[in-house]
Amino acid sequence: MEGFKALGLSYKNTPIEIREKIAFSEVESTNFLLKLKEMFSVDEALLVSTCNRTEIYFSSGADLSDDILGLMASFKGIESKKLEDFIIRYDANEASLHLFNVALGLESQVLGDIQISNQVKRAYQQSADLSLAGPHLHRLMHTIFFANKRVVKETRLQDGTASVASVAVDLIGGFIGNISNPRIALIGLGEIGQNVLDNLNAEEASITLVNRTKSKAIKLAEGRNISVCDYSDLDNVIANNDVIISAVSTSTPIIGASNFSSKSIHKLLIDLSVPRSMDTDLDNVPGISLYNVDQLTERTLKARKVREKSIPDVKKIIEEELKGFKSWRSEMEVSPTIQKLKNALDQIRKEELARHKKLSDKEVELLETVTKNMIQKVIKLPVLQLKAACKRGEAETLVGVLNDLFNLDAAEIEKK
């Protein structure tokens, strides 16, 4: 579809200070899409917004890129000129390929990140619920989902644990396995802390959030079975949780051996801060398992190398599935011409039959059957040739020839 385009920004060229201003919550996404639908002539729209990217995909006969950018900026209360340096625009072919790459994890900070596939699925469901997913988007999304299944089955792009946050959660899962009613405290809710929180959603444990700005912790806890504690109550948080993850920005450690006076301790401490927020003297405290960023990063390197080796295979799958999608799209674009041709030939058939008024009912019935069969055989070759031309990318030429030969546009107007 020539009118299918996209625009957006991502972590690759946009600082978090800008990304967080243009990020959409689920409710905001719904309201924005409804506003988009109301204000512009948009046939389809898909809004993908995560901590790493905000992108809008849309189908329209007009080029609405500037208008949509203006609406996004206005909706989020930011001047559009502040976004111009970061916004990337994608035309029809680029938009479809980019959405493939995004949904399959090739564009993620964590190569092969499985979270993005689920986030794209939720965005698609939202579009469908708002009647903003038409034939083009439905087909594209289901092709992408099928490609993702192939990637999981045929490649190692999602093998192993490839992010510090997911490695941390793996450690936590192993640690709390034998603990009844485990308790986890997450201190610091910047990008890294939020990434850990997203990964923690699957863990069956009581989660407590602690942040210097408490309102941010409260907002992230909304609608979830998560507790929030004051930063000033840090000592109690440390004492009352089995797992403590720290992702705060600090020049000196905020947790040390002095925080643990009990002799019977069994705790997992994960320090994701740089500079470190947990003192190295914790290594000498019996019963405490302490991990820092470097130790977790070492665990990701092997998985990253395995995943990187899978990139050519993933791109090949995308190429194959995208080729099939483009073939379908081309056939959809020529289907009106096929229907016009059928209508034109059928009109000729009916006009010829109408000239013979002295035929009996039985003769009319016989001629109806014979002439319809003839039309089917006559049209079969042009249809096959059109479909073949679609695969070669030459459909436009053949459509023009058929229009000229049978004067299809004029015939369609005359019919109306």
Interatomic CA distance for residues 114 and 84, integer angstroms: 30
pLDDT score at 340: 78
Interatomic CA distance for residues 87 and 10, integer angstroms: 8
Residue 380 in this model has a pLDDT that exceeds 60: yes
CB 104 within 8 A of CB 144: yes
Report pLDDT digits (tens) over 125-145. 999 999 999 989 999 999 999
Residue 203 in this model has a pLDDT that exceeds 70: no
The ranges assigned to domains in the chain are 4-159, 164-305, 332-415
Looking at per-residue pLDDT, the higher value among 25 and 207 belongs to 207
pLDDT score at 140: 95
Position 2 confidence tier, pLDDT thresholds 50, 70, 90:
low
Q: SS3 of 402, please?
A: helix
Report pLDDT digits (tens) over 143-186. 999 999 999 999 999 887 777 888 888 889 889 988 888 999 99
Q: How many residues does the chain have?
A: 416
Catalytic residues: 51
Token pair, residue 2, equals 């020539």
pLDDT score at 45: 97
Question: 347: phi > 0 → left, psi -120 to 50 → alpha, else beta; which?
Answer: alpha
Report pLDDT digits (tens) over 57-70. 999 888 899 999 99
| Range in 93-102, 267-276, 329-338, 406-415 the model is least confident about | 406-415
Residue 411 in this model has a pLDDT that exceeds 60: no
Position 394 confidence tier, pLDDT thresholds 50, 70, 90:
low
Q: Class for domain 4-159, per CATH?
A: alpha beta
Interatomic CA distance for residues 244 and 208, integer angstroms: 10
pLDDT score at 187: 96
- Global confidence as pTM: 0.67
* Beta-strand runs (E) in 151-205: 183-187
DSSP secondary structure, 194-246, as one string = HHHHHHHTTS-SEEEEE-SSHHHHHHHHTTSSEEEE-GGGHHHHHHT-SEEEE
Position 415 confidence tier, pLDDT thresholds 50, 70, 90:
low
Share of the chain above pLDDT 70, in %: 92
Average pLDDT over residues 239-254: 90
Q: SS3 of 185, please?
A: strand
Instruction: Specify whether domain 164-305 bears CATH 3.40.50.720.
Output: yes
Q: SS3 of 44, please?
A: strand
Report pLDDT digits (tens) over 289-302. 999 888 887 778 77
